[in-house]
Amino acid sequence: MPRWVQEGRVVGSRMDTSTKRSAPVVDASKGALLVLFLVTVIDMIGFGIVIPFLTYLVEDLTPANQEANIGIWVGVLMTSYSAAQFLFSPFWGSLSDRIGRRPVLMVGLVGNTVFFTMFGLANTLVLALLARFLAGVFNGNLAVARAYIGDVSTPQQLATRMGLIGAAFGLGFTFGPFIGGELSDPASRWALFEGTIFDTNPYLLPCAVASLLSVLSLLVAIRNLPESLPPEHRNQSQQKSWAAGMVGTLKSTGSMLRSGNVSVVIWVSMLFIFGFTIMHAVFILYTQMSPADGGLSFSEAENGRVFAMIGITGILTQGFLIGPLSRRFGTRRLIPIAILITGVGLVLIPYTQFEQRWIHILIAGGLISIGNGLFQPSSSSFLTRIAKAEGYELGVVMGAQESVGALARIMGPLTGGFVWVFTDAREWPLDYHTAFHLCGFLMICAALLSLRLPPLPDDSDLNHQKNLAESE
């Protein structure tokens, strides 16, 4: 099986599995695969559930004399989750090598249960930040779910089972924002919640639902998730310190960023993710503005529906469009096309007219989701194939890509929040359009850089592209 899967690599972590590579593969039960699916879905629900209501929560918790900092707090809270995952994924991966996969996955589910609820109950920005960061810490075990699949899968099973993780990503990002939007502030819509804890804590209900899903997954795990890594195949060597692990990750990533054609693909992905995640911070800041100021006056529920639509369109794109378009244009040509489609959608967002807001926002959102749905599998496929063609170690390459992607997801919302704070009250062109213009500029840079991608010797062979599209 691919080495990067055996190593359980995510966001640059490298799990030492040298002591278990000779272990016989024990096939997983359907129940075990269901647990892994649920772990991944909950991970993405945890990321996306706050998107529709985060701006409103920050407004509620911001002191009266600090309204100007709302955009910065939105960016910080959005970033904290990804930052925690980046910092602690290597720890969870290494720990699972020593004590087994099952206990680490179950500890993550327990942490989700606690800290999702804690976030919904937060009554200060500092407490909300702490809860969000800790939720990211315990949701940093996605590498362990991938390693589990590597433990229990034959090479013939691997592509399909990794596709399960890809499907869970899509579903989690679709239903996370939908749950967050539809269940926010329930007391204002349903008399059942008036005068209850959900009235005083208007964003507790979606967080409580996420916690409930985590509890249900934990119960399924207790019953159906066997250990995949027997004691005799665990790594008993002394664990590296966290600092040493992070230094090793950064050195490996830096080396790949200077490695010819491979580095071009990684830089293109970084610029794309950077521009895409700026939108995560500023989209709600824009849509919640009043029409008099150029906004759409969207509610939490309306914002959640927009992101759900983006998620569903992305799933359909990867399910039905990626194969035919790859055969028509080839992976190398499809990458800049996908980037430009995404960039056009991002730039169009702040030009939505209030009278036709749903038509305009659905067009912009559709372009974003189609472009992103084409780019992600195409770039991953191209990177895998160029790394193999040039003789690079695939584990190092994929780890570098995920590390750079994680850093881009950290910097994107922060950048969006700061740009919004310093421009939203100014006049055009440096007004609330600016953050979305920055997204478009980064996409243009990524598209231009992608023109340097070399043709592949087997570019007509698209079977790998099709398989990877299905796994996304």
DSSP result, 219-258: HHHHHH---SS-GGGS--SPPPPHHHHHHHHHHHHHHHTT
What one-character DSSP code corresponds to residue 194?
A: T
Q: What is the 3-state secondary structure (H, E, C) of 339-397?
A: HHHHHHHHHHHHHCCHHHHHHHHHHHHHHHHHHHHHHHHHHHHHHHHHHHHCCCCHHHH
* DSSP symbols for 3-61: HHHHTT--TT-----TTTTTSPP-PPPHHHHHHHHHHHHHHHHHHHTTTTTHHHHHHHH
Average pLDDT over every residue of 111-132: 94
Q: Please say if the pLDDT value at position 13 is more than 60.
A: no
Torsion sign over Cα 14, 19, 20, 21: positive
- Total-model pTM: 0.80
Output the pLDDT for position 261. Answer: 85
Instruction: Give 423 or 242, the one with higher predicted confidence.
Output: 423
Output the pLDDT for position 419. Answer: 95
Q: Which two tokens stand for residue 240?
A: 């590296």
Residue 14's pLDDT band (cuts 50, 70, 90): very low
In three-state secondary structure terms, 201 is coil
d(CA 50, CA 304): 9
Summarize pLDDT for 20-35 with one digit per residue, the tens.
Answer: 344 455 555 677 788 7
In three-state secondary structure terms, 410 is helix
First to last CA, the chain: 18
Average pLDDT over every residue of 186-207: 94
Residue of 167, 147, 21, 26 lying closest to 92 (CA atoms): 147
Q: Are 286 and 295 in contact (CB under 8 A)?
A: yes
